[in-house]
Amino acid sequence: MRKRVKKFVPTYYAKNIYEVDPIFFKAIGVETVLLDLDNTLASYKELTASDRTKEYLKKLIDLGLKVYLVSNNRGKRVREYAESANLKYIAGARKPLRSRTKKFLKNEEIDLKGVMMVGDQILTDVYFANRLGVKILLTDKLVSEDQWTTRFNRIIDRPLRRRLHRKNKLKEWHTYGSRTEES
């Protein structure tokens, strides 16, 4: 696969974040999890974290993982959601640009080697994580509706996903123990 296309290949794939056993992150050396918000954790219409989300986040944190929200959405929406989940966050992250997140992670004294991004979009989340030099877990979108700003990305996302699937580049998260891991 050409170098240009490799930027769009995720490290792992899952149908959704909630199917991923939190132990998976620890098992592959992840210390920090960056979570996209809209259509990864919740619908963009969901203003606060659900009990399901809070329980999942608690499992991650109880394992000693640092967990942050990294969203392109605006401040108020992200702030309210993050506060309801008791998480630090980056709103208006401008993914796939790296500068805001890189600065945030530096201020938090986070080593990129132990970071994994989790998100539902190839053009923003996967491309961003690969440019940042961190692992990426790509998920399907959680709910069918999208914000109008995301619909354009989905037009490009769908054929990219089909191509990745056809070329066997979507490695299921639960297969992590069956192959050698990259550091």
For residue 153, the domain's CATH number is: 3.40.50.1000
Q: Is residue 95 part of a domain?
A: yes
Q: Is residue 180 part of a domain?
A: no
Residue listed under structure tokens 């056993």 = 21
pLDDT at 72: 93
Q: Is residue 123 part of a domain?
A: yes
Q: What's the predicted TM-score (pTM) here?
A: 0.88
24 or 144, which is more confident: 24
Give the mean model confidence (pLDDT) for residues 149-173.
Answer: 81
Q: Is residue 181 part of a domain?
A: no
- Structural domains counted in the chain: 1
What is the domain range of residue 67?
3-175
8 A C-beta contact, residue 67 and residue 61? yes
8 A C-beta contact, residue 128 and residue 4? no
From 52-61, 77-86, 109-118, 168-177, the region with the lowest mean pLDDT: 168-177
CA distance linking residue 32 with residue 70, whole number of Å:
12
Amino acid 106 reads: K
Confidence category of residue 146, pLDDT binned at 50, 70, 90: low
**Segments in 63-147 forming alpha helices (H):** 75-85, 99-107, 127-132
Q: Is residue 24 part of a domain?
A: yes
